[in-house]
Amino acid sequence: MAEVLNVSKKEQSAFSFGKEEIRLLTDPLSDNNPITIQILGVCSALAVTTLVSKAIVMGIAVTLVTAFSNLFTSALRNYIPKSIRMIVQLVIIAFLVTVVELALKAANYPIWKDLSVFIGLIITNCIVMGRLEAYAMANKPWKSFLDGIGNGVGYSLILIIVAVFRELFGKGSLLDYKIIGPTSEYVLNTTSSAWLSWYTPNNLFVLSPAAMFLIAVIIWVQRSRNPKLVDIS
């Protein structure tokens, strides 16, 4: 009976949800964001943020891969020889990326067609490999899983913020729903509204340099609000 109680206590502690677990989920949203603080995954942020829908799908894909690769790597960490650990990690990531890509292809073929190259490149995403090396190889599966979710959501948050600005000001739409533009198809018709007559969608926002500029502004705002982050990265 005592042994059963000890096992149940160990299971509860293994899947506990306290301050440390909350920190693993919330820190990557701000003070330890993988894009703005760790400066990882910036390339995909430039490529897939022209539309909010693409940013959301990419964010979900990276979150799933990061979370489950952390989980599997942490569960196997004591059995992986150090000499081949990176090879094993890449095999795990490649397997998960393949599963996510095939699931997306079956669920939404048009978006898969637009993002197939970038989904495949998650294998080389620095965020995924970085979390495996920095956290999953040294911590238990449950906390590693939460760390993967936190970093994936933090990555997704920046992608969606950048995509909102790029799609709204570059194409006048959000989630392909026409918001601001010069025809009656838009919710706010700039030709019939005098106070909006100055606005026309700016195609510069669709270009990659606009994403870099927006990420730089987010980094500037973040560090202005928290001076402790100035020397990081």
Rg (the chain; Cα; Å)? 21
DSSP string, 63-100: HHHHHHHHHHHHHHTTTS-GGGHHHHHHHHHHHHHHHH
Domain count, the chain: 1
Asked if residue 117 belongs to a domain, the reply is yes
Asked if residue 113 belongs to a domain, the reply is yes
Enclosing H/E stretch for 178: strand 177-178
Asked if residue 1 belongs to a domain, the reply is no
pLDDT band at 164 (very low <50, low <70, confident <90, very high): very high
| pLDDT at position 148 | 95
pLDDT in tens, 78-125: 999 988 999 999 999 999 999 999 999 999 999 898 888 888 889 888
| pLDDT at position 13 | 57
Asked if residue 184 belongs to a domain, the reply is yes
| pLDDT at position 149 | 96
Q: Which pair of tokens denotes residue 165? A: 């600005």
Asked if residue 23 belongs to a domain, the reply is no
- Count CB-CB contacts under 10 A for residue 75: 15
Range of the domain at 45: 40-229
Residue 173 dihedral angles phi and psi, to the nearest 5°:
-135, 170
In percent, the amount of the chain with pLDDT more than 70 equals 91
pLDDT in tens, 165-203: 999 988 888 988 888 877 777 877 777 766 777 777 788
* Rounded Cα gap, residues 205 and 212, in angstroms: 10
